[in-house]
């Protein structure tokens, strides 16, 4: 009888453990109201991508704008703007996050100026097309390298910026193994040069892009901004950590208000071709193999671009003296889940090329966003399914644009930027002003 009782207890214990493990596999979402994770099997679609979510396998091309329209500017209640109209310099404005941020700030009636050096790390035509989107909204755009102190000074003198969102950087973990000096220049030298300019303009508030990569080989999860970050696993991560260290020094010496933002695997429309979402989509449609590292069980805190931009704007509004925040979803997901969602949206199966984890990569990124919520009210809300649906709609539209080959206006726009960049420290701005004058430049008249 005793033996039977032990057997029954063992069976019950295994059953309970199975149920617990099964529940742990459910999707979770961060619930800032009580600072713990609330289990969700099928979260409802968020309002911003509800139209995209209504698409289905029978109608995968149900159309939704690939970025927020002028009428879709949700309130950011978690940081007080005091009805202040800001004059904001966005560096890296032809980049993925930079373009979205510039558009959103413009739609909130702030005056935005964008600069970018149009580095050829990835397809410069994509950067051209992003910059042209800004031009179509009458956002001044200049071809300027942040390391060019004279031109950055000239912009400050002309526009009298109140804020800077510094997003220009050399991105990519794996490329840092191939061209390390590009990271030292773009991420360390140019950032220092920008701060050297800014310290001549007291009162300018700065937010700058850091990265989840700074957590490196940390084994404690989720990653908290209060964790030590002394074990970077790539040169890219080391340069981003140095950004935070340099920022602390400039704040200490010159009292520049600086806020560092550690981004976690940002994806969405207009995303980077070197990132998994874009690369997988292209290869899958071509029937090519996709490189899947560590059997797809690497986990990333995939965060949709609109959520990231909301967090950046909140940080700009907050204007801390010095602070660092995580901007991530707060819920890591397997790369295999990402692949499944892309297969659904693209309508084709992935052909996998299984590979080992690469040098510099980490197994897991996982943001602790409680501090960000407490200080900024940051509440990411876009599910991976909704985000990839919106991505797929944009990707198909952009692919059709590329295939149509109508690049006359974007190319003319880029030509004017390139011509202007060859002028002196202040003359480079003349060409941009002419672009918005239909009499002077009919080709680029809006």
Residues 227 and 218: beta-carbon distance below 8 Å: yes
Short-list 349, 353, 324, 339, CA closest to 384? 339
Contact (Cβ atoms closer than 8 angstroms) between residue 92 and residue 98: yes
Look at strands 322-327 and 258-263 and give their pairing. Answer: parallel
Residue 423 CB neighbours (<10 A): 13
Does the active-site annotation cover 78?
no
pTM: 0.82
Residue 257 CB partners (closer than 8 Å, separation 6+): 204, 205, 206, 251, 319, 320, 321, 322
Count Cβ atoms below 10 Å from residue 62 Cβ, excluding itself: 14
358, HSE (Cβ side, Cα atoms, 13 Å): 15
Task: Give the Cα separation of 189 and 145 in Å (integer).
Answer: 11
Exposed e or buried b per residue across 107-145, where buried means at least 16 C-beta atoms within 10 angstroms of its C-beta: bbebebbbbbbbbebbeeebbbbbbbbbbeeebbbbbbb
Q: How far apart are CA 180 and CA 30, in angstroms?
A: 36
> φ and ψ at 382, to 5 degrees?
-90, 120
Q: How far apart are CA 31 and CA 259, in angstroms?
A: 24
- Pair type for strands 28-31 and 36-39: antiparallel
Euclidean distance between CA atoms 155 and 425, whole angstroms: 9
Is 325 in a helix, a strand, or coil? strand
Strands (E), 251-365: 258-263, 266-267, 289-293, 299-300, 303-304, 322-327, 333-334, 351-355
The residues near 46 (Cβ < 8 Å, ≥ 6 apart) are 381, 382, 383, 386
- How many angstroms from the chain centroid is the CA of residue 418? 26
The catalytic position among 78, 175, 236, 373 is 236
316 forms beta bridges with none
Q: Which two tokens stand for residue 277?
A: 């979402």
Which pLDDT value is given to residue 176?
86
* Secondary structure of 35-72 in HEC code, one letter for each residue: CEEEECCCCCCCHHHHHHHCCCCCCCCCCCCCCCCCCC
The pair of three-digit structure tokens given for residue 177, joined into one six-digit string? 């193994």
Show the low-confidence residues of the chain (pLDDT under 50): 2-4, 6-67, 77-78, 437-446
pLDDT, residue 359, reads 83
124-151 pLDDT, tens per residue? 999 999 999 999 999 999 999 999 999 9
Domain borders along the chain are: 87-267+302-331+365-381
> Using CA of residue 233, residue 235, residue 238, residue 244, what is the dihedral sign?
negative
Domain 87-267+302-331+365-381 sits in CATH at 3.40.50.720
């Amino acid at each position: 009888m005793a033996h039977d009782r032990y057997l029954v207890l063992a069976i019950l214990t295994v059953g309970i453990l199975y149920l617990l493990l099964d529940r742990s596999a459910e999707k979770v979402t961060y619930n800032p109201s009580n600072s713990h994770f609330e289990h969700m099997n099928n979260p409802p679609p968020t309002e911003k991508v509800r139209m995209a979510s209504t698409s289905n396998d029978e109608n995968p091309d149900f159309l939704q704008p690939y970025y927020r329209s002028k009428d879709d500017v949700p309130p950011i209640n978690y940081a007080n703007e005091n009805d202040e109209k800001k004059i904001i310099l966005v560096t890296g404005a032809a980049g993925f996050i930079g373009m979205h941020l510039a558009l959103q700030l413009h739609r909130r009636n702030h005056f935005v100026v964008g600069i970018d050096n149009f580095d050829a790390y990835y397809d410069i035509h994509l950067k051209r097309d992003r910059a042209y989107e800004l031009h179509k909204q009458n956002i001044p755009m200049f071809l300027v390298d942040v390391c060019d102190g004279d031109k950055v000074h000239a912009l400050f003198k002309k526009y009298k910026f109140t804020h800077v969102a510094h997003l220009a950087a050399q991105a990519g973990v794996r490329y840092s193994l191939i061209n390390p000096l590009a990271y030292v220049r773009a991420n360390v030298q140019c950032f220092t040069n920008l701060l050297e300019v800014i310290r001549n303009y007291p009162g300018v508030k700065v937010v700058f892009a850091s990265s989840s990569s700074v957590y490196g080989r940390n084994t404690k999860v989720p990653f908290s901004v209060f964790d030590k970050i002394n074990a970077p696993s790539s040169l890219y991560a080391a340069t981003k950590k140095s950004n935070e260290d340099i920022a602390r020094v400039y704040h200490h010496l010159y009292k520049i208000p600086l806020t560092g933002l550690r981004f976690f695997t940002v994806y969405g429309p207009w995303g980077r071709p070197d990132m998994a979402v874009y690369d997988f989509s292209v290869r899958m449609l071509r029937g090519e193999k996709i490189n899947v590292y560590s059997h797809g069980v690497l986990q990333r805190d995939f965060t949709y671009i609109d959520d990231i931009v909301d967090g950046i704007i909140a940080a700009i509004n907050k204007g801390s003296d010095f602070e660092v925040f995580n901007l991530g979803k707060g819920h890591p997901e397997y790369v295999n889940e990402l692949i499944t969602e892309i297969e659904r949206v693209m309508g084709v199966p992935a052909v996998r090329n299984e590979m080992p984890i690469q040098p510099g990569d980490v197994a897991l990124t996982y943001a602790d966003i409680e501090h960000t919520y407490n200080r900024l009210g940051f509440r990411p809300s876009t599910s991976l399914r909704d985000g990839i649906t919106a991505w797929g709609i944009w990707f198909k539209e952009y692919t059709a644009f590329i295939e149509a080959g109508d690049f006359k206006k974007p190319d003319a726009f880029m030509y004017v930027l390139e011509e202007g960049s060859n002028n002196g420290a202040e003359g480079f701005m003349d060409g941009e002003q002419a672009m918005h004058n239909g009499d002077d430049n009919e080709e680029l008249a809006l």
